[in-house]
Structure 1
Amino acid sequence: MTEAVWTTKILNISSSLADRKAIGEELLKFPDGVTHCLHFIAESSDNELVTKSAYALDQAVRSNPDILQPHKILFFKALRTLEVDTVKRIFAKTLELISFDFLKGSFPLQKPEQELMVSTCFDWLIADEKVAVKAFAMQCLYNLKDTQAWIEGELKAQLNSQFQNASPAFQSRARHILKKLKN
């Protein structure tokens, strides 16, 4: 399927869960579409195309995170370019899923990829981001805490410093992570 045909398919979906799941299933059957979606996310200035591409990618990755492995270079390139809040949330969730699979040994990550994930998640945790982005970021950081000695201490410090003034949703996830860090 050409990029032009894929673009038309992506732009014709709505934000409904049914449409997102359907395009995600199609993406699983058409792995070249992953390249198209990541290319759109990394390089397009059309926020609708970027967001809908992220919707498709989100549903496909939730079903099978391994779909990203052949596209890691483009995925991490796209990660550096995110501006749309919805897309940040989707990528934060994707990083969380990747980090879980990394822990299980089923999604290998090179040191620079781990470092980019850690720095991005700390940036999101520190910045004025939506709570979902922060929650996924803190879980990803927890999952990657053993890749670098300083991560655990910095994660504890960030969660504790934000806890008092944070939303109940942030506090709930932070409490959960802090409890696991004490064990």
Structure 2
Amino acid sequence: MNFKSLLESEHSKTTTNLIVNEICEHPEKMDELMKIFVEGPIRTTQRAAWPLGFIAEKKPNLLAKYYDIFINELHKPNNHDAVTRNILRALQYTKIPEKHQGIILNRCFEFLNDVNQPIAIKAFSMTVAYNLSKQYPDIKNELKISIENLIPHGSAGIKSRGNKILKQINK
């Protein structure tokens, strides 16, 4: 299966599922997807990002060697929202290595507290930050404050996810 041709030809759930299934059956092909993700062009990068969350949900350890790439992408100033959103979606399913936790956590708080970020980026940032707060309970209060600031003016999705996380924090 030629991932690049597939991704360049169309952007669909069918294409994404084909790629996810192929990589889950042949994990060595993850490198091919990540090469396309990094090299672009941007439309192809966006399309290559979509399968990441599904791969992480099914086989989170397949993302283990790509954290440096994800961090680099999360810090690109003009990155497309789809790339950021799909990286964060994937990170919510993974056990982030300790050496990357601080930088990812800081970035999640930046996304949460940035009024210009889209809903999905904020929602996935909440989940990633909450998952990390289980290891670092000292950040729970900061996360709680960030979520409480979002909820009054947030979308239904932000309110729902925020309230679920607040319940977990307050246990």
With structure 2 as the length reference, what TM-score do the two structures score?
0.84
Distance 1:154 1:42, change over 3 A: farther
Q: Distance in 2 between matches of 1:53 and 1:85?
A: 13
Partner of 1:105: none
User: How many angstroms does 1:137 deviate by?
Assistant: 1.2
User: How many angstroms does 1:59 deviate by?
Assistant: 3.0
Deviation by residue 1:48-88 (Cα, 9 ceiling, x = unmatched): 11111112333322321111123333343334337111122
- Confirm or deny: 8 A CA contact 1:34 1:71 kept in the other structure: no
Match of 1:122 among 109, 113, 136: 109
Match of 2:44 among 42, 49, 60: 49
Partner of 2:130: 142
Partner of 1:67: 62
Match of 1:157 among 145, 150, 165: 145
Unaligned runs of 5+ in 2: none
Match of 1:90 among 83, 86, 91: 86
Partner of 2:24: 28
Identity of aligned residues (%): 22
Q: Distance in 1 between matches of 2:109 and 2:120?
A: 14
Query: Is 1:109 aligned to 2:105, yes or no?
Result: no
Distance 1:23 1:63, change over 3 A: same
Instruction: Give me the CA root mean square deviation.
Output: 2.3
Query: Is 1:18 aligned to 2:18, yes or no?
Result: no
Partner of 1:132: 120
What SS does the corresponding residue of 2:92 show, helix, strand or coil? helix
- Confirm or deny: 8 A CA contact 1:41 1:78 kept in the other structure: no
- Confirm or deny: 8 A CA contact 2:70 2:87 kept in the other structure: no
What SS does the corresponding residue of 2:93 show, helix, strand or coil? helix
Distance 1:33 1:20, change over 3 A: same
Match of 1:9 among 3, 6, 15: 6
Of 31-40 and 46-55, the range deviating more from structure 2: 31-40
Runs (4+) of structure 1 exceeding 6 A deviation are none
Distance 1:29 1:76, change over 3 A: farther
